[in-house]
Amino acid sequence: MIPSPTDVALSLYDLAFGGINDDAYSQSLMTHLLASVSRVYGGFAIAAIAAVPLGLMIGRIPLIRSLLDPTLQIMRPVPVTAWLPLSMIMFGLGPRSAFFLVCLGAFYPILVNTIFGVRSVDPRLFEAASMLGCQGPAQFFRVVLPASLPAIFTGLRLGLGFAWVVIVVGEMTGVQTGLGAIIMEARQLSRTEIIISGMIIIGVAGFLSDRMVMWLGKSLLRWSPNFV
């Protein structure tokens, strides 16, 4: 049941270019890859838009932290797979459920790292800003946001990586295209070489996504010794 490396290599070639098996999977790589990429980056973008401002407020405003943080900490350990039946009830079968699950998977790493970044700002920076005439709400944009950016980018990196982790679960919701969809379909057909090929493609796509975030972070945060 476990294919040889040669069989996996041939399967990858057939997925990309065809000409070997000439079955339903031949030359279908770009279709499935683009479908998964759109769901990963779409869900990740929604998660980032929601998690970064919320994390900044929770980390900076004690009232919001006392109201929201306990609920979020209770919900955070719930695995994405547990949300699968509920997402299908709320959003039905198809891409919307996949978007929701990917968004949920990326949300908490971004949120937690943003809160950590805000809470870790050195108090001496506020004192220095006050001495230079920067006080009140201006400190948020001049002190809090720049100082927490390294942690926020780390959260974005983790969130995007986890979005690729949960894409297979997200595409178990009745979608017809996507890397997770062909992995689940190949499992039913006992096409183990297709399963491993899909795993390799997800790994490579996730690696390239991580390199992209790292490059962007290093370009924007050259001044920060804390961003690795």
Kindly report the pTM of this predicted structure.
Answer: 0.86
Q: Please tell me the distance from the alpha carbon of residue 192 to that of residue 199, in angstroms, as a whole number.
A: 11
The pLDDT, as a whole number, for residue 73 is: 87
Contact between residue 76 and residue 109 where contact means Cβ atoms under 8 Å apart: no
Q: Please tell me the distance from the alpha carbon of residue 59 to that of residue 42, in angstroms, as a whole number.
A: 26
Task: Give the domain ranges of the chain.
Answer: 31-220
pLDDT in tens, 90-127: 888 788 888 899 999 999 999 999 999 888 877 777 77
Q: How many CB atoms lie within 10 A of CB 23?
A: 12
Q: What is the mean pLDDT of residues 197-211?
A: 93
The mean predicted confidence, pLDDT, of the chain is 86
> CATH for 31-220, among 3.90.1280.20, 3.30.360.10, 1.10.3720.10, 1.10.260.40?
1.10.3720.10
Contact between residue 44 and residue 163 where contact means Cβ atoms under 8 Å apart: yes
Task: Return the closest-CA partner of residue 213 out of 53, 78, 12, 40.
Answer: 40
pLDDT in tens, 18-69: 878 777 888 888 999 999 999 999 999 999 999 999 998 898 888 988 888 8
The pLDDT, as a whole number, for residue 226 is: 58
